[in-house]
Amino acid sequence: MLDKTVEDMLMVNREHYVIPASMVATVQADNSLTHAFLVLTKVRYARIPVLDGDQFVGLISLPMVTETMLGLDSLKIEQLDDMCVRDVMDTDVTTVDNPYALEEVMHLLVNDPFLPVVASTGEFTGIVTRREWMKSLNYICHDLGKDYEVTPKTTVHAGHHQ
């Protein structure tokens, strides 16, 4: 359970946590792997969302694409034109609802640099990034004493409560 004061401070920046779908690099599930390769190379992100229309269906990464190019002794680039994103994408992806629970997102972002935000209809609405959360944590760390009187309940020594 989040501390109420911390939760209130996190809520101040809640609208900044979600990067809207219109601002996120995506590919369509039926795009060629050549297209996905070019997009991933251009945007320089590790993974990007895959959509089917406006529906979220998975994530794709550069290693997923390049794995299909690897032969025993050469690169087979022509295979990228013959395969679609849906052939190699990861569909076992953790997503969060829109609106999402702050505490759930905080726990999930420990292991993921971003989480796709998906409406109950399956529509991709954006991503929540660890970067934006870290900016809010930075805000709390620097501004807590400006808005709140912080006093320890017990004596604190070297990071341990007595």
Query: Over the stretch 80-129, which tens digit does the pLDDT of each residue have?
Result: 999 999 999 999 999 999 767 888 888 999 999 999 999 999 999 999 99
Per-residue model confidence as pLDDT tens digits over 43-94: 988 899 999 999 999 999 999 999 888 866 778 888 899 999 999 999 999 9
CA pair distance 104, 90, nearest whole angstrom:
22
d(CA 159, CA 162): 10
DSSP structure class, residue 32: B
In sequence order, which residues have a C-beta less than 8 Å from that of residue 59 and are 6 or more positions away? 47, 48, 49, 50, 89, 90, 93, 116
Q: Any idea how long the chain is?
A: 162
Determine the average pLDDT of the residues in 12-18: 75
pLDDT (0 to 100) of residue 74 = 74
Residue 150 and residue 82: Cα distance in Å, rounded?
61
Residue ranges covered by each domain of the chain:
4-147
Range list of H helices, the chain:
4-12, 14-17, 33-43, 62-67, 79-82, 102-108, 130-147
CATH 3.40.1050.10 fits 4-147, yes or no: no
